[in-house]
Structure formats: C-alpha cells, structure tokens
Structure 1
Amino acid sequence: MFDIKGKVAVVVGASSGLGADAARAYGKNGAKVALLARREEKLADVARKLQEAGVDTFIHKCDVTDETSVKTAITAVHDHFGRIDILLNNAGVAVRGGVHQLSEADWDKSMDTNVKGIFLASKYAVPYMMAQNYGKIINIASINAVIADKQDVFIRHSYNASKAAVLGLTKGMAASYGRYNITVNAIGPGLFESEMTENTLFKSEDFLNSYNYQNPLGRPGKRGELNGTILYFSSDMSSYVSGQFIVVDGGMSIV
C-alpha cells in the first residue's frame, strides 16, 4: 500500500533541501517526478541526478507568488505526463523578526510564499485531480504553526502566522475535495538542516545546544527523516486520512 510506482508527483520548491530530498524519495520509490522552483540551474542539478538513477523527470521554472507562473508550470506538467497524482507544496521562506521589527514587505513575502503559493499550486492541480477522481496533496507547514519561541534567533512572527494559515487551508481543502477521492494533509517539520536554516540557526552554537537539550531525541532532524511521512501521505496507505497534521520534530513540540 506504500506503492507509488508510476504515479506522477509534483514537488513545488524542489531545488534544494527538503524538497530535493522528497523528490529523490519519490523517484526511488518508482514515481515520475516533476520539479518546480524559481532557480532553474539548481532544478537542473536535482533532475540530472534523478535521471542518472533512471527516474522519469520533468522540470519547469515556477515562482509560487505569481499566478501566471504557477498556472503555466502546472499546465506544463499535466501536458507532459498526462496526469497529476501527488502535489507536495514545499516552497517556503522564514523571515526573522517580531511584529515590531517586520516591514510590510517582510510580512507579504512570508504570506505570499508560504500561503498564497500553496493556494495557487493547488488551484491549478486540483481540477486535474477532480477529473481523474484521485489525488494526494501534502502541504509542508511547520511545528511553528502550533508553537512559538522566545529566543531572539528564532522569533519569526510572520512565519508563525503563515504556517498556521497553512493548517486552516489544509482542513478546508480536505473537507471540500474528499468527495473527489482527494486527500489533503499537512506536515510540520521541526528543525532540519536546510538552505533555510544552515546559515542562521545551525551557525548559533548557543541555540543548537539549547535545542538539543530540550528536544527528547537530543538533536535536529537528519536528511531524509521527513521522507517517511511524506511517502505515507502520498501513498494509499493513508487513503482514509485527510485534513490531518503530523509533526516530525523528535518530540520537540510536546515539551
């Protein structure tokens, strides 16, 4: 039931980090993979490695904050593969600062990428899923959708707000599209090393020591440790699971 062989998986935000890891996991498990992101050179690098491993791969430039760009990319994927079975909405940004520090542009950047991006990708993928009466949508939220942090290095109020909005959108979509055999779920990663965190949080020894002390597993997440949950939500093993939020954080959100 974990089998996704032959399915078409679209990874939005696939050029690096957790998105690239997920694309490799999809390919390793037999899916055809479409990679979408703004940075074409990085997409090409990810695609080349997938193709060398024998994965049927398609890439298209996509700016998730621009509706025309998203519509063009999703349409191109469907034209290429003939269907879209899985949509992983992974594109995201984390803008640091409290509300007294954030500019309006900072706020809009968080909302446009983290929330509007999911809305737009889903807007154009969902009709294809409805027509085929099948679809799996996985939205990458964050544990910061449900918890916050008072340490200066981790204060990101626009990130908290945008990721909480992802949960509301996930529930609304799940309730509406279940009749079309489309499940919609969200994942909340804890701290993973990625392009978003490696030059900020992972460079603060004090923060890492504090995080590791508080985390029940005593460490951040490792590369690939999000993939099991992604594959679960992407496969028919989760056929009766929709509108749910699973945190993958080593237990950080329970302490």
Structure 2
Amino acid sequence: MTRTVQQLFDLSGRVALVTGGSRGLGLQLAQALGEAGAKVMLSARKADELEEATARLQSQGIDARWIAADCAREEDIHRLASETLQRLGDIDILVNNAGAAWGAPAEDHPLEAWDKVMNLNIRGYFILSQYVGKHSMIPRRRGSIVNVASIAGLGGNPPDMKTIAYNTSKGAVINFTRALAAEWGRYGIRVNAICPGFFPSKMTRGTLQAMGEERLAAHAPLNRLGDDEDLKGTVVLFASDAGKHITGQWLAVDGGVSVVTGG
C-alpha cells in the first residue's frame, strides 16, 4: 500500500549523526531530524556548547546525545563514528556540517589557513562518510548522507567578501556529493547536499557588521535572510523516504540569491 506523506517523512527508529551540531545551522538540522522522530547524536569541539544544545533538544522530547570531537582530526572522526555506533547502533543518516571559513585576499591568504579550511570542510566530510559507509551503511545497503555545502560553492562572491578557501572547499563538497552518490548508489545509499545562502546563525558577527543584514537581504529576491526554520524541510526530505529517489543533488536554500547571481 502506498504510504502517506506523513509516513514518508517519518524518521522514527532511525539514528542520525550531525557534525557541527551544537549551534547555528547544525543545531537547526539536528532539531528537524529529531522532530521527525530520529535519535540524534550531536558532535562539535566544545563540550559545554554540546551539553547546552543536547539539553535544549531533550527538553523538546527529542532523544539526543553528544560526543565532543574535532572533525579536522582523523582520529577524532573515527572515534566519533565508532562511539556513535556503540551507543546508538547503526547510523541511518549522516549530516556533514562541521566547517570553517577564513577571510583574506587570495594573494595574501595564509597557507595554514587554507589547509585548516580544506581539512575540516572537505577532508573531514570524506573521512567520516568513508567510515560510516564502510562500517554501517554499506553492509546494510541503506543510508542517507547530507552534506552542507553553500551557495559560495557555486561561484564567486562580491569583491569585499574574500573567502577563496571557503568557496573552493564548498565547491568541492558539491562535486564530492555527486561523485559519492554515483559510486554508492548500488548500495542503496543516497548522497545529497544543501547549499544555504545568507543565514545570520552561519555568519560571524564581524561579517554581519561589515556587510549589514539589510544589504545582505537585498541580494535575495525574497528580501530576507535565512532563519531558524528554513533548512528543516530540506534535510528531512533528503534524510527520509520522502526523498528515496533523490541522490547526487544539491539544493540552494538562499531566498533566490543564486538565481540572480547565476550560481
């Protein structure tokens, strides 16, 4: 019998691991998955922020846990995945969200900053996906990986936003998504990417002050920035059976910015 829409979006009984999940976009994504019924493991570097985020989710009736880990470090990534498997069982949904940015003109961009951004924003995504795939998703021939990219990965930025490493890493995330989806489709694993636009919770206070919220909002046909609800529907679609025939795709959630900038 064909399932209802509510049944297709239901994540009851599934386990989700969300990196960078203690605040901002990661916490929004984790909350959405938990509201849809999933058990959620949050990860980030700072234990105090993870404790606060987990308590917030638990107060809403969500089964949430946390593990502190640095997703730029291979040993931390393996420990995170292994401990999640031990504590919650097989991982059905992996959300790769932990990330970093660095602002500097290309001609003066420090190499160590380039490496920091690349290690966290794309190398970390690969290592964690590889471990979860090999130890949980591939043996069961099922799973959904959601990579958080950015509209910055679709092209350049306004001249005063000098984030070449970030843009490059997010472009890599988009093609990593497509390549992994093509390779792991035979295992029943779907891989998709979300490309957020301008979200206050994603941006540093300095960037917001320099650019101005009104100015940033003016770039979008919808004339507003993203809020604490705008990614929830997309991640549940990609994670649930409602999106079971979607893989290798990226979706801009940006109020239309990429439409007018040609991304």
Normalising by structure 2, report the TM-score.
Answer: 0.92
Q: Deviations over 1:32-64 (max 9, x none)?
A: 001111111101111112222232222111111
**Counterpart code for 1:51:** Q
Which SS does the other structure have where 2:155 is aligned? coil
Q: Report the Cα distance in structure 2 between the residues aligned to 1:47 and 1:190, rounded to whole angstroms.
A: 26
The question of whether the paired residues in 1 share the 8 Å contact of 2:106 and 2:162 is answered with no
**Counterpart code for 1:29:** A
* Higher mean C-alpha displacement, 43-52 vs 87-96: 43-52
1:90 maps to 97
Q: Percent of pairs identical after alignment?
A: 37
Q: Give the drift of 1:131.
A: 1.1
The reply to whether residue 146 of structure 1 matches residue 154 of structure 2 is yes
2:5 maps to none
2:237 maps to 232
Q: Report the Cα distance in structure 2 between the residues aligned to 1:108 and 1:102, rounded to whole angstroms.
A: 11
1:202 maps to 208
2:4 maps to none
RMSD of aligned C-alpha atoms?
A: 1.3
Q: Give the drift of 1:198.
A: 4.1
Q: Give the drift of 1:85.
A: 0.2
Q: Give the drift of 1:94.
A: 1.4
Which SS does the other structure have where 1:45 is aligned? helix
1:115 maps to 122
**Counterpart code for 2:71:** V
Q: Give the drift of 1:207.
A: 4.1
Q: Deviations over 1:114-162 (max 9, x none)?
A: 001101111111121011111000000000101212331x220001110
Consecutive aligned runs of 4 or more in structure 1 exceeding 6 Å deviation: none
**Counterpart code for 2:157:** D
Normalising by structure 1, report the TM-score.
Answer: 0.95
Q: Give the drift of 1:208.
A: 3.2
Equivalent residues, number: 252
2:3 maps to none
Structure-2 change in CA distance of 1:208 and 1:58 (3 Å): closer
Q: Give the drift of 1:211.
A: 2.5
The question of whether the paired residues in 1 share the 8 Å contact of 2:149 and 2:193 is answered with yes
Q: Give the drift of 1:252.
A: 0.4
Q: Report the Cα distance in structure 2 between the residues aligned to 1:49 and 1:207, rounded to whole angstroms.
A: 30
Q: Report the Cα distance in structure 1 between the residues aligned to 2:44 and 2:115, rounded to whole angstroms.
A: 19
Alignment of 1:212-251 (within 5 A): 212-251=217-256
Structure 1 gaps, min length 5: none
